[in-house]
């Protein structure tokens, strides 16, 4: 799949709360919007979607099965030249994102990011579909751990992540919604963790050590 799917709420009435359930355990919900969430699904096939709406006096749920078809667009990536990012593939239209949020006005094949650190993606569109590029991490001074705190590499990673440590550390991996996916103990004898069972995407990584704590982002991309 790797398409960004936006759901549009067409409910009417005095609604105060919205919630959505997608029966795809590996789906990535890229924002906290409850009325019209944006979701990346992990694979094609039939999927059941349940929306629940409520107010102070009533609650109603609606379910529907939809078919997610295979993406016909080729995988895309981002090229870097100085302070310019460029979509590898040309397309009908584009939307650049940082931290999975659309950048206002950034709808050309190239984007001037001016050296600002962050995780960038670009969506490319044809008449019926879109595909999200692999993420690109732009690092800056804010991403460098101070005072010789533990570091990790490579980032992006294809699955195995290595740590430069002298003492024991605890590593917590969470998704972009802060749901914890794994907790690992790293020591001087075992300086790596295997995340090959993780889906491609952006994860939060928190490292706890006697020298201090740090939080960053880890990209899994195969």
Whole-number Å distance between alpha carbons of 115 and 124: 22
CA angle 116, 118, 123 (to 5 degrees): 105
The answer to whether 205 and 143 have CB atoms below 8 angstroms apart is no
Q: Which of 218, 78, 210 is nearest to 153 (CA)?
A: 218
Whole-number Å distance between alpha carbons of 4 and 94: 13
The answer to whether 84 and 119 have CB atoms below 8 angstroms apart is no
Q: How deeply is 197 buried, as exposed, middle or buried, from its count of CB atoms within 10 A (0-12, 13-18, 19+)?
A: exposed
- pLDDT tens string, the chain, 222 residues long: the values are 678 888 888 888 889 999 898 888 777 777 666 788 888 887 788 989 999 999 999 999 999 998 888 888 888 888 877 788 999 888 999 999 988 888 999 999 999 988 788 889 999 998 888 998 888 888 754 344 445 567 788 888 888 998 888 788 999 998 877 788 999 999 878 889 999 999 888 888 888 888 778 888 888 887
First to last CA, the chain: 15
Long-range pairs of 20-23 with CB within 8 A, sequence gap ≥ 24: 20/49, 20/50, 20/51, 20/52, 21/49, 21/50, 21/52, 22/47, 22/48, 22/49, 23/47, 23/48, 23/49
- The domains of the chain, with CATH numbers, are 4-68 (2.60.40), 78-138 (no CATH), 145-220 (2.60.40.3080)
Q: Where are the beta strands (DSSP E) in 36-77?
A: 38-40, 45-54, 59-68
Looking at residue 31, its pLDDT comes to: 67
């Amino acid at each position: 799949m790797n398409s960004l799917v936006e759901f549009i709420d067409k409910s009417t009435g005095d609604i105060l709360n919205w919630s959505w359930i997608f029966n795809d355990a590996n789906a990535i919900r890229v924002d906290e919007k409850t009325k019209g969430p944006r979701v990346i699904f992990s694979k094609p096939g039939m999927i059941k979607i349940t929306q629940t709406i409520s107010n102070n006096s009533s609650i109603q749920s609606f379910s529907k099965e939809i078919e997610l078809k295979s993406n016909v667009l080729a995988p895309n990536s981002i090229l870097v030249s100085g302070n310019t990012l460029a979509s590898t593939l040309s397309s009908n239209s584009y939307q650049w994102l940082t931290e999975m949020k659309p950048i206002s006005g950034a709808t050309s094949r190239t984007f001037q990011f001016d050296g600002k650190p962050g995780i960038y993606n670009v969506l490319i569109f044809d008449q019926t579909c879109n595909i999200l590029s692999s993420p690109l991490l732009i690092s800056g001074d804010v991403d460098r751990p101070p005072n010789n705190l533990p570091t990790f590499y490579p980032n992006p990673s294809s699955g195995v992540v290595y740590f430069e440590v002298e003492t024991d550390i605890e590593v917590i991996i969470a998704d972009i919604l802060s749901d914890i996916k794994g907790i690992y103990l790293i020591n001087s004898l075992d300086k790596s963790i295997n995340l090959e069972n993780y889906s491609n995407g952006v994860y939060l990584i928190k490292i706890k050590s006697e020298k201090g704590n740090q939080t960053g982002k880890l990209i899994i991309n195969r």
